[in-house]
Each structure stands twice: as C-alpha cells, then as structure tokens.
Structure 1
Amino acid sequence: MSADNAVDAARTDGTPRRGLRRIDLLRLGRAALLGTGGRDRVPDAIEHLTKVHRARHPEAGPEAIETLRRAYVLAESSHRGQMRKSGEPYITHPLAVTLILAELGAETTTLTASLLHDTVEDTDVTLDQVREQFGQEVGYLVDGVTKLEKVDYGAAAEPETFRKMLLATGDDVRVMSIKLADRLHNMRTLGVMRPEKQVRIAKVTRDVLIPLAERLGVQALKTELEDLVFAILHPEEHARTRAMIAANADGPDLLAAVAEDLRRVLREAGIAAEIAIRPRHAVSVHRVLLKRGGAELGSCDFGRLLVVVAEDADCYAVLGELHTCFTPVIAEFKDFIAAPKFNLYQSLHTAVADDRGRVAEVLVRTRRMHRVAEAGVIALGDPHAVADTPQTAEGEPGTRVDPTRPGWLARLLEWQRDAPDADTFWSALRDDLAQDREITVFAAESGESGESTGTVRLPAGASCVDAAYAVHGEAGHRCVGARVNGRLAPLGTRLRDGDTLQLLMADSAASGPDADWLERAITPAARIAITRWLAQHPAADDEDQQTAAPAVRPERTADEPPTAEPVAVTDLPHATVRLARCCTPVPPDGVTGFVIRGGTVAVHRVECPSTARMTAAGRTPVPVRWRDGGSANAYRATVLAEALSRPRLLADLTEAIAAQGVGIVSAAVEPPQEHRVRHTYTVELPDPGALTALMRAMRSVPGVYDVYRARLTVAAARP
C-alpha cells in the first residue's frame, strides 16, 4: 500500500477492497490482441500495471519498466492463440496475476516472473531462454511455480508439484507469492469449470493454499480465497451470509457513529491517526455467527474499526485513550506488537463499549504494520536484500526480515525430505498446515546440569515426543522421559508456550519408540520417523496385540459365556480371529491376516500400512475371508467428520448416528483449529451396508462439510 492510501476504503457489500480490485479482463484481452504498440512504447495492456508499480515503488525507474515491457512482449507472443475456458485470450491470466501482486506492492523481479509464470509450462519458451533474457532470479521464480507433468508423475503430479514449490519457497519466498496470486485469479474465474472440478480445486485451496497465505501473512489474498472457497463448498450458507451483509448495509451504520466518537477523542488528545471501518468478509461474518450460537448479529458485528498511526508509541497512546474514554472489554485485548504472530502480523486488538452500549472491535497499527498485515512477505520485497537497504518511501529504515524466522517453513522442509511417497507427503502437509499457532519451548540438556540449549519452536499441541525429534532428529528414538518445568512428565504431555523442557535420553542406540508414540506425536517429522522405525523393527512392535479388537473364537464350549459369531474366519484350526483397530475392516473390504502372539490371526484391510510393513518384514500372510451372514452389531468402522465449530455439534452428530440404529463404541473431538473441528467415531454397524447410509446422515448435519472413513496413511489427512 502506498503511504497516501494506508487505509483502504473497504466496501460493505463484500466485494474486493480497492487494493485487490478485479480488472476488466475483456479490456485487457482487446489491448493484448492489438499488439505491443512499438518497441519503446509501454503496451496499452500493461500501462495500468506500470502505473500501479510506480505508485508502490517510486524508485522503479525506466529500466524496471523496460524489463516489464519485455516480459509482457514475450508472454503475449508465446501465449498468442491460446484461450482460457472463459473465452478470454490466455494472456489476460498472467496480466491479472501480476496486477494482483503489483497492488500488494511486489517489486519488479516478482512482477517480471509473474508475467512469465506460465510460459515454460504452456508454451515453447524454455527455462534457459527466460534465464538468458531476464536473469537467474527470474528464471528461479518461474521454475519454482512450473507444474510437473502428469505424464511423468501420474496421480503424484499435484503433491510432487507442491513439494517442488515448497523447496523453491525455502530459498525464495516470492515463489509462493506468485502461486497464491495465481490461485486467487483462477478461483475468481472457476465458474467455467465443471462442478466436481470446482469442488476439488476449492478443497485443495482450503487445505493448502489458504493456510500458506495465512502463514506468509498475505491476509488480502487469504480473505478473498476463503470467501471464494466458502461459496463453492457451502453455497447455501454463503448465500445466507451475503444476504445478512446486504441487509445490514441497508440499515443505520452504528459503527460509523462509534468511529466518529473515536476521531473526536483522538483529535482532542492530539494524536494523529487515520480511522476507517473494515467490513468483515463473508467467512468472518459466518464465524461470528457460529460463535454467537446463531444469535442475531448487531450492526457493529459486521465490521471492525482500524486505526493507523505513525509510530509504535502512538499505538499504545491510542490504546490508552480508548480504554480511558470508553469501557474496555478486557477479555478481547491482545498485544500482537510486543508478541507478533508467527506470520509477522503486528497490531493491538481491543474491544470497547460506548455510553450507549455499542461494542466495537478496534485494531491499532502503524502504516508499516498495515502494509505487512495486508501483504505479508510480499511487502518485504526481495528476501535476499542486505540489512542496510535504503529507507522506505515513508522514511523508515529498510530491514531484511526473514519470513522463515518462526521456523515453520524450515521444519516443513526438514520433514518433507523423509516423506517416503507422495501420498504420505500430501497427508502430512495438510496436517502440518492445519496447525495454526506456534509455541516456544526452552530446551535444556539431558544431563544433570540442565544447561539451556536454546529455544525450540513447535506447533501448538505438540508433545514431548514431538520435541524429542525436533531437538535430536532420528536420535529422538532414544527418548525415555522428560521433565517439564522441572517435574517429571509423561512423554505424551502437551507442551505450552514458555515451558522449560529437559529430555531424558537413553545411552543405548538400540532404544526405540513404542507404537503408541504415534498417538502422542502431531508433527510430521516425528510421525514419519516413528513409522519408519516401527517398519524396520516389526518384532519389537507389538502393534497388532495392542490394536486388535477383542478376540472372537470360531467355536465355544457349553461352559463359555455366549459371544457373537466371528465376521471373519480363517482355515487355520483353532485360531482366534481379531479385527485390527488400526484400519477397522468391514465387509466387503479386501482383507488379509497375520498370525500374532498366542496364535491369534489379526485381520487387516489389504491397503492398511501395517499390512505393507509386516509383508516387507517377511511375515507370511494368512488367508482370511468374511463369513456369510453373521450376527448383529458385529461390524465396526471408524469414521471422521469435519465441520465448522458451533454449539451442539456433538449432540447433533450423536443423534444422527443413533437415528441410524448404529452404536457408538468410542468418540473423540479434537480442539477447534481456525473454527474447524474434527470428530472421530468408532461405531458398530448392524450390517456392512449401513456404513454408507450412516455417512450420508452425518453429512446432513448443519455445519458438517465432509465425512470419511479413517485414512490409511501415516498422518490423518484433512480433506
């Protein structure tokens, strides 16, 4: 954002803010087809782009504009004749992506690569040509966002493309900036796709791109992506929310009255500040509605007040006036200036009530904080710039801020190298990105001295097991205990921000994890390492003994208590059959068996990871088959429900399950993350065919957006 426009005059109807306004694609298409207008003249199609770029970067001289002109000429000529599904010339897409980045303040190198980002993938232009004409930096960015070919990678093309892109982002965060802008424009024009493809792309956007936008601090992209995904995956709820926003816009603007009172207070206090109303976008309004349990929202609930000042000290001066002249809602106060979020976000958050009882949420930040809050790492410019860069347009000293400082990207890049295949990487990536907050733990030596070894950054909810692998890598296998804040604690203890941790390590390299460590670990690095160790040491892993269902004997004597007949049988004489809980097989799943302790045959689904692990270890499968018929309540399955968090969700889901005549063996609810929650149910079915009807009934519960059987992967995936 430029200094003169630090606060956007956001609209109340939910349309994009000025900084990300939609461009006239038809006009750009016509301008693109008219040609370049001469070698030295800026083409009409990028005239607006260059004006925006100069406004954000006054130092961008003729050389920068000439570079953009040459990039456009190459892109337009190479894409000439290609059309998008919407009917516009293809060149309108890289133009739109580049304008999005320009309005967020991206520098010349990023804009050049953005104009060219599809040339290597979709035209005859080679990467070597890009490097020769525009340099190694631009070539690196274009290569980073170029997709891998499906003909070479098959179904693994998408996850492997993201793996490649993340590796490139580790060296230059601008790669992901271009990808996010690319996805935003594609989501804006997704309506021309088939409905099923819209849903698939929207889910990947929800699970991967939106969390990445959040972690990189690019809120302007994240909020619009959220609304576009919301409209595709939940069209009815989206329509109701937009109708509420429109209805509020037609009524009296109470928030404007509070804003005027605040202007008067700050004027009298001699504090120079810009005050604007920031309307909530559709997803934000929907979250407030869920938080209020469906209660009617007031006018002030549809937006927040934004106060922008010059210096950090002014932020606290504004806060003092707010809490002196209005009634503060203390529970709503958060200081993200003293303790920035892991994505570089800084602001003071508070809520105040005026003398009429109107409660307004208020954000207070400096101009620089506002630019970073909107554009995140894009506002930081070249991540490789040295620390003594020139002053900014506002006269602030330039500083190099490392976007990987919180450590989330470094951790992600570390564990991805150990992901054995694309499916494991894809599932682990979604789980990793679902962690929306970091904690800092102070680690100490494992000896008696307890010397500090520094800080360890972990996702919220991480356990001592996660910390062991974060500190010691593969040697985390040797962890036998932990002290948290000086006291002995179980390895499954969930760590909190600021905890002091001392890991107790065994001297023997032969020590290894138990199978239940997988239940205690949430980080992909820990889960992948544990799974690999268990696969290499099957004899030491009594997983089947621990996870198999209670034994059901094929035969019983008159002295034995009555039991249900087995649903699966084997030809091994006198063998006990158990259904493995790790994959909860039900007919007609393909199954196989393995003999475990005591001669029991554990029945697994064919695609269960335990099946592959035990086969690789040389254990001989035992043929098993489903018994015809069988008794009631003999079939177990584990299903997961993904939903937007709201009151009575658990009650409504359990009622829906009971209405299907299905018994609940166990249930677990994970803590909400970004207002999303996951429920896990192990159920007993009257017959295997009841599973489909059960999942359909669970999906019909308001707020539930997906129901699926337990994933057979290392890390459970969020669809």
Structure 2
Amino acid sequence: MTPEEEERLIENEFQDVLQGYLKSNHRKKVEIIERAFRFAKKAHGGIRRRSGEPYILHPIAVAKIASQEIGLGSTSICAALLHDVVEDTDYTVEDIERLFGSKIAQIVAGLTKISGGIFGEQASAQAENFRKLLLTMSEDIRVVLIKMADRLHNMRTLGSMAPAKQYKIAGETLYIYAPLAHRLGLFEIKTELEDLSFKYEHPKAYERISELIRQSEARRSAVYNDFATPILAALDKMNLRYEAKARLKSVYSIWRKMETKHVPFEEIYDLYAMRIIFDCDDPSQEKGICWSIYSAITDLYRLHPDRTRDWVSIPKANGYQALHLTVMGPDGNWVEVQIRSRRMDEIAEKGFAAHWKYKSGESDEESELNEWLRTIKDILDDPNPNAIDFLDTLKMNLFASEIAVFTPKGRVITMPADSSVLDVAFELHSEIGTHCIAGKVNHKLVPLSHRLQSGDQVEVLTSQSQTPKEEWLPFLATAKGRTRLKAALRKVQQPVIDSGKAIFDQYFKEREVEATNEIVTKMLAYYHLPSREALYMKLGQGSIDLSRYILKESPKTEQSLLSKLFRIKRTQQPQIVTVTPEKVNVKKTYALRCTDTERNYVLSDCCHPIPGDDVMGYVNDRGQVELHSLTCPRAQALKAAYGPRIVSTEWEQVKQKFLAEIRIEGVDRHGILQELTQMISNQLNIDIRSLHIDTDKEVFACSLTVLVSDTQVVGELCQKIKKIKGVQNAARVADTPD
C-alpha cells in the first residue's frame, strides 16, 4: 500500500467514527474530536503495529467500538483516540490536560495506569495491577469501558501475534475480561470476547462447530419458522410495534455445553432462543406488555414451570431487565423466549452506557456500578499477595448468576446464586458474619450453611460468643464473604503463624543455611503443604517437627526428595520416567517428546492431558514445562496471572501409554459387562486399569479407565462401545482423577 493509499484509509476510518457519532443522541462536539484525531495521528506518526498497519488505526478502531458498540460520547471518543499517546510517545498527561481539558486527561491517565493488558511481567504485581483497573472504575466508569473496547480490538487482530502471545491474551481475556463485560452488562462484547478467545485456544474445535452451524442453518430456519409463525400472528392481533428474531447460541457456549454435558453437536437442542423486542414510549407500561406477550405465548405452547425468569420486576445487579420463559415447540424440544422493550434491549446489549440515555439525573448515572464497586471493595483492600487466589476470588462475583433475597424489613439484596445464610451475614457486615450462628429463612430456623432461593426472606442470628471457623469456607458462594472470613481467620491465626515463622527462622539460623525458594519448595512438598504460611501455621501449632525433616533429608537422601517432587504418580504413568527439562523459548512452539525412559515435560496434578488433546505449557519455578489441558480451570488462571511463562506446545514424539477415563451410560441387561470387557481387552487389545459400575433399576453408569496412546484411540473406542446393544452414551472424562 502506498503512503497516499494509507493516508486515505486512515482518513476514511476516522470519518466512519465521526459519522457514527453524528447519528447518535449525544451532543455534537465535532471540533474537539477532530483535534484529538489530528494530535494522535501526529504523535503516532511513523509507528506501525505488529501486523504492519499504521498504529493510528488501532486508536481509531477503539474509538469506533467505544462510540458505536458501547454507545459512549465525545469525551470517550477523544480519550480512546489518545489512549496510547502518553504510554507510547513523549507527551505527558499534563500535555493532554492543557490541550483537551481535565476530564479527558483523567481518563487517559487511568488507561495509562493499566496499559499493556491488565497484568505486568511480574507475577507478584499482577493482582495489584488488576486492583488498579477496578479502582479506576470508581474514578470514571469510562476508563474500564474504553479498556474493554481496546481489548476487543486487540482480540479481533490477534492473528498477527506469536502463538504464545495468543495463548496469554486469549486466556487473560476469557478469565477476566469476558466476565467483567458480563458483569457490566456488555453482553454482545462478552459473547464476542468468548468466541475469539475460543477461536485461538481451540482453533480446530472452533472451525468444526462453526461448520456444523453453517450446515444446519436451513434445518434450524425451518424449525424456527414453524415455532414462530403462530406467535407472530398472536402479536399482530395485539397491535404491537415489535421485532422478533432467533438468537443463535455462540460457538463458545455450544462447545461449553458439549463439553459439560458430554453430548455431540446433534444433541444440542436449544441452539437458538426467540427474542421479542417491542416499542413502548411509556416505561410504566412495559411490565404489563411483557406479561401480556407471555400470556399470548403460553396460550399457544406448553410452559416449562421451572424455567420462567422475571427480571422485569427485579432487574439483575448489572441493570439487565427481561422476561424469560421456556415453552415446548412443535418439534418436542424446549425453546426459550426472551421478552424485552426497546429500552431493555439497549441496556442488555450496551450495558451502563445505555443506562445514561434513560436517566433523568446526573447523580444517578453510575449508581448500579457504584453499588457493585462497594461489593468488591473488601476484595480490593484484601492484602492477599497471591495473584491467582485474588483473581479466583474476584471471578466468583464477576460471573455469578444472581438471586434476590429480602431482609425482614423488606430490603432487597442481590446475591450470587447458591449463596448461603452466612453469605448474607457477611454481606450485611463483617461483624455479623463472624458472629453468625444460624438464620431464619421464611421464619423457619436453618443452619448458617443453608443455601438460599430467590425470593427468600432472611434473618441472620448472631451470638457474641461465636468465633469464625475455617470449616465455614465451603459454605460461602460470594467473594466478599470468603475475603471477610479469611481476614477474620488471619486475625486469629496471625500469632500462631508468627510463632511458627520464628521457629522456622531459628531452624535455618542454627544450621547457617539460607532458606532459598528451592529448599523451601522441597520442604513444602515433603510435608504436603501449599505455602510458607501453611508451614508456619503447622510449626506454630506444634504439629510438625523440623528436626525430623533434617534427619530424613540428609545430603545422601537429597536426591530421593528431588525424585519425589519430579516423579509422576504410578496411577498416572505405568512407566518410571525421568523428566529432562530442555531450554524453553516462550516465543516458539515447544515440541513435546517422550520415550519409555524420559520426557521433556511434567504432567500437572489438576488435569491429565494425553497426546491429541489441546494443551499448553507453563514454565514452573524449576524451569520445567508443566503441561495443562486448555480446558483445565487452572490453565485459565495461569494464562491470566502468569502470561510471560506460558508457552504454546505441540505433540511431536511420544512413545508412551496414558490413562484415560471413559464414562459409559445405558440400559442394563444380562451379559453387557462381559461383552464390554471382552471387546476392549480381546478384540481391541486395550489394557483396562480400573472399572466401576453402578446400577439403578434398569439403568447403569460405568466408569472405565484404560491405557491408551492418544485421543484418537479413545475416540474410536467410544464409538465402538456405543454400538453395544443397550449403551446410550460413551465419552471421555477429560480430567482423570488421581
């Protein structure tokens, strides 16, 4: 492309942003947008993105997303155009303030603070960097909305990145940004972020499901038309101005359902939902219209009684409003119908930015967001230094589906689904939580572990003699509750931990040995403890004696401890295999090799991938490539928190057998177990390592563990098992237990 052609492209892209802005309801401040564009273009002059295109096209694209997909105005467009100027050029925030005013400068400063993705290079700083992102929300919500636009454009152009970088960014996006978009009510963006992350993490699965969706389009359209035609006729009789359409499940959500339910694509029956959006000029009439449409649909089709969701009367915490019902279609499958007004639809798709259009007072614009920020303040203030713990705790609240419960005085409290009485106690106040002894739900006495349902009335009972207990942790579904309980426990445990640390320090001082990370890691493995703090706790309680450790682990037996750490359990690997780490270049794809006696990777304890699985590598503290399945929850956390240690991998030379667990379900009959074992052992010559079968009347469920070389063997085995008379389903369980 010639310089003149590039110049025309840049100008056309900017005009596209401007034209979209002029069509919006925002006040027209074209002059300042023009100035911001010219300034950013000059500042980024001569700089190119990794893809080779002029850098200025990125800020323009971010401004377009912020304006046209999120619905933000001139201040945000200017900030988006300028968002990388302070980070990448010699200009300062003061320069931005002098030229464009304090509000735009404040947003640019907030974006600069959290530049380079949420996380920096150092794992220890990552949780703190994420806190910065969330704290900037309270300064100005537009900071995080523009950051979301920035991430979306980076995901759309991720193809130009190296594989390891793709893993890191896709993992971080799926783990943090997609849940955050969901919590902010940006559902279109959340869905696209999930799909793009999935595309780069599982490219083959993404292509396969996309192709299956394309192939089934004609059949789906016919089924939808049969279902929708009577509904449309009924709506026409009601003289409504409305729009009705089929909403197809995203590729990612289809794949998730296939994985969790262990079903093929052909058995995903709820591929689409029907969405009805009606026009209504008077918000006070919206609720009545929603229920009149509900009545018309239930006159035509049988209602599923347990799957009606009324978010019109009590909106979700992120402002989402709609009436959902599920009815049985003419083909015998359940279909979800979502009923919304035009106002509800805009808020559902664009989130808080759309709220601003419908608010009467300036002070109310960010009330819902500020309410959410109050719920996570405890987490932000928590001194927990562990990045993954922090992210896991926060993610509990980010992606939780919600229930609404009531206090005895009628106050509505929105909580994550599966919350307990104890969660409500901690939601009300830390002191109430730590002294909670029980609760009354709908005037009936219940234990503090009791799980709540939407609509419950909850009264918390306390006693000053009650103290916080570690066994309460499983009762808590909220991040706030867990954080407050852990803080209370730390207060109680801290003197014991301090005492244990003194014993630990004295132990090393007497032997004149430095407590290096390597030595402490071996010590933690020996005592089967997860952290130094846990070790200090045990020492303070007097439940372990360090002198016994030194006697057992003399220099002669040092190597035996090392082998303990590096050895793969016999239940996972039948051979004794030496782990021989190789030099790792995270910018290149790491080739996985394994012979009968050695291999260049370590299998993780949390998941057990086999050749053919989509896997990634994580370079652990010992410099070894630790292998995780991409579907493993810990892999998601590692990608988000330790991006620079992630390496893309490929199976190259593997001469070994691996354990795989297969779940088999079917109708029981005489001789089916014998037929199954004979086919596997005799006909297919596959070794069976364990078999457990449960029967309930005529139905059986079997857990089978076999020794295989790769996923292809497992797939072929499942297909053959399905052909046995009586077997309804056979699928591999991805995470084989120890």
Q: Which TM bucket (shorter chain)?
A: 0.5 to 0.7
**CA spacing shift, 1:252–1:500, aligned 2, 3 Å:** closer
* Distance in 1 separating the partners of 2:90 and 2:345: 41
For residue 697 of structure 1, give the secondary structure of its aligned residue in structure 2. coil
1:243-272: CA deviations, max 9, x gaps? 111112355721245444433332244333
Match of 1:438 among 402, 425, 432: 402
Of 305, 309, 316, which residue of structure 1 is paired with 2:291? 316
CA contact (8 A) 1:230 1:283 kept: yes
Q: Distance in 2 between matches of 1:710 and 1:516?
A: 27
2:523 aligned with 1:591: yes
Q: Which moved more, 1:495-504 or 1:210-219?
A: 495-504
Q: Deviations 1:100-129 (Å, cap 9, x if unpaired)?
A: 122222222222211111112222221122
* Greater helix share, structure number: 2
Structure 2 match to 1:207: 175
Shift of 1:610: 1.6
Describe the shift of the 1:499–1:327 C-alpha distance in structure 2 as closer, same or farther (beyond 3 A): closer
Instruction: Give the TM-score taking structure 1 as reference length.
Output: 0.68
Distance in 2, Cα, partners of 1:340 & 1:282: 27
1:374, CA displacement in angstroms?
Answer: 1.1
- Counterpart of 2:273 in structure 1 is 304
SS in 2 for 1:208: helix
* Secondary structure of the structure 2 residue equivalent to 1:705: coil
Q: Partner of 2:367: helix, strand, or coil?
A: coil
CA distance in 1, matches of 2:458, 2:211: 51
CA distance, structure 2, for counterparts of residue 277 and residue 476 of structure 1: 45
Equivalent positions of 1:550-569 (< 5 A) are: none
Structure 2 unmatched runs, 5+: 281-285, 501-506, 509-517, 576-599, 615-628, 647-738
Structure 1 residue 241: deviation in Å? Answer: 0.8
Q: 1:463 to 1:237 in 2, by over 3 A?
A: same
Corresponding residue for 1:515? Answer: 470
CA distance 1:30–1:220, shift in 2 (3 Å): farther
Aligned to 1:82, what secondary structure does the other structure show? coil
1:188 equivalent among 156, 174, 177: 156
Of 264, 267, 284 in structure 1, the residue corresponding to residue 253 of structure 2 is 284
For residue 340 of structure 1, the aligned residue among 312, 315, 320 is: 315
Contact 2:185 2:318 in 1 (8 A): yes
1:115 aligns with 2:39: no
Determine the C-alpha separation between the residues in 2 that align with 1:690 and 1:89: 40
> 1:699/1:617 Cα in 2 relative to 1: closer, same or farther (>3 Å)?
same
The amino acid that maps onto 1:692 is L
Q: Tell me which of 229, 233, 242 is aligned to 1:264.
A: 233
1:603 maps to what in 2?
527
Residues paired across the two proteins, number: 570
Q: Is 1:527 aligned to 2:482, yes or no? A: yes
Give runs of aligned pairs for residues 235-274 of structure 1, distance below 5 A.
235-249=203-217, 253-254=221-222, 255-274=224-243
Is 2:87–2:112's contact at 8 Å kept on the other side of the alignment?
yes
Look up the SS of the partner of 2:632 in the other structure: strand
Q: CA separation in 2, counterparts of 1:167 and 1:125?
A: 24
Find the residue that maps to 2:336 and give its secondary structure: strand
* 1:497 is aligned to 2:454: yes
Q: Which residue of 2 aligns with 1:666?
A: none
> Is it true that 1:415 corresponds to 2:383 in the alignment?
no
The structural deviation recorded for 1:288 is 4.9
Deviates more, 1:233-242 or 1:175-184: 233-242
Give the Cα separation in 1 of the matches to 2:328 and 2:42.
59
Rounded Cα–Cα distance in structure 2 between residues aligned with 1:329 and 1:494:
24
Matches within 5 A, 1:292-691: 293-295=262-264, 297=266, 301-311=270-280, 312=286, 313-353=288-328, 355=330, 360-381=335-356, 387=361, 400=365, 402-404=367-369, 407-421=371-385, 423=387, 426-433=390-397, 435-443=399-407, 452=409, 454-473=411-430, 476-507=433-464, 512-538=467-493, 589-591=521-523, 603=527, 605=529, 607-612=531-536, 622-623=546-547, 624=549, 660=573
* Structure 1: gaps of 5 or more residues: 1-25, 37-42, 390-398, 445-451, 546-569, 572-585, 594-601, 640-655, 663-688
CA distance in 1, matches of 2:27, 2:636: 54
Q: 1:537 to 1:455 in 2, by over 3 A?
A: same
Counterpart of 2:361 in structure 1: which amino acid?
Answer: A
Between the aligned partners of 1:617 and 1:133, the Cα distance in structure 2 is: 62
- Contact 1:346 1:373 survives alignment (8 Å): yes
- Give 1:218 deviation, angstroms: 0.5
Cα deviation, residue 388, structure 1 = 7.6
- Taking structure 2 as the reference length, the TM-score comes to 0.66
Question: Counterpart amino acid of 2:324?
Answer: H
For residues 368 and 117 of structure 1, the distance between their equivalents in structure 2, rounded to whole angstroms, comes to: 30
Summarize deviations over 1:268-292 as a string: whole Å, max 9, x none. Answer: 4433322223333212333454576
- Is this contact kept in 2: 1:698–1:704, CA < 8 A? no
Displacement of 1:366: 1.1
Q: Tell me the CA shift for residue 467 of structure 1.
A: 3.2
Q: Is the 8 A contact 2:630 2:636 kept in 1?
A: no
Q: 2-side partners of 1:241 and 1:30: how far apart?
A: 41
Give the aligned partner of residue 84 of structure 1. Answer: 49
The verdict on how the C-alpha distance between 1:587 and 1:453 changes in structure 2, with shifts beyond 3 A counting, is: farther
Distance 2:637 2:264 in 1: 36
Aligned mates of 2:366, 2:637 — CA distance in 1: 39
Q: Distance in 2 between matches of 1:350 and 1:382?
A: 28
Change (3 A) 1:479 1:31: farther
In the alignment, is the contact (CA less than 8 A) between 1:468 and 1:479 conserved in 2?
A: yes
1:78 Cα shift?
Answer: 1.1
1:9-48 alignment to 2 at 5 Å?
33=7, 44-48=12-16
**Contact 2:277-2:345 within 8 A present in 1 as well:** yes
SS at 1:207's partner residue?
A: helix
Task: Quote the residue 1:706 is aligned against.
Answer: 632
Counterpart of 1:141 in structure 2 is 107
Q: 1:96 corresponds to which residue? A: 61
Change (3 A) 1:422 1:71: farther
Q: 1:209 to 1:299 in 2, by over 3 A?
A: closer
CA distance 1:352–1:463, shift in 2 (3 Å): closer
Amino acid at match of 2:534: S
Quickly say closer, same or farther: Cα 1:708–1:106, change in 2 above 3 A. Answer: closer
Tell me the secondary structure at the aligned position of residue 546 of structure 2. coil
Distance 1:592 1:132, change over 3 A: same
> What's the counterpart of residue 179 of structure 1?
147
Opposite residue 188 of structure 1, the aligned amino acid is: R
Separation (CA, whole Å) in 2 of partners of 1:603 and 1:356: 59
Structure 1 251/128 Cα, relative in aligned 2: closer, same or farther at 3 Å? same
Change beyond 3 A, Cα 1:210–1:386: same
Residue of 15, 23, 27 corresponding to 1:60: 27
CA distance in 2 between partners of 1:69 and 1:498 (Å): 52
Residue 52 of structure 1: how far off its partner (Å): 0.8
What per-residue deviation string (whole Å, max 9, x for no partner) do you get for residues 220-256 of structure 1? 1011101011112222321221111111235572124
Q: Equivalents in 2 of 1:711, 1:306: separation in Å?
A: 34
Identity %: 27
Q: Is the 8 A contact 2:83 2:108 kept in 1?
A: yes
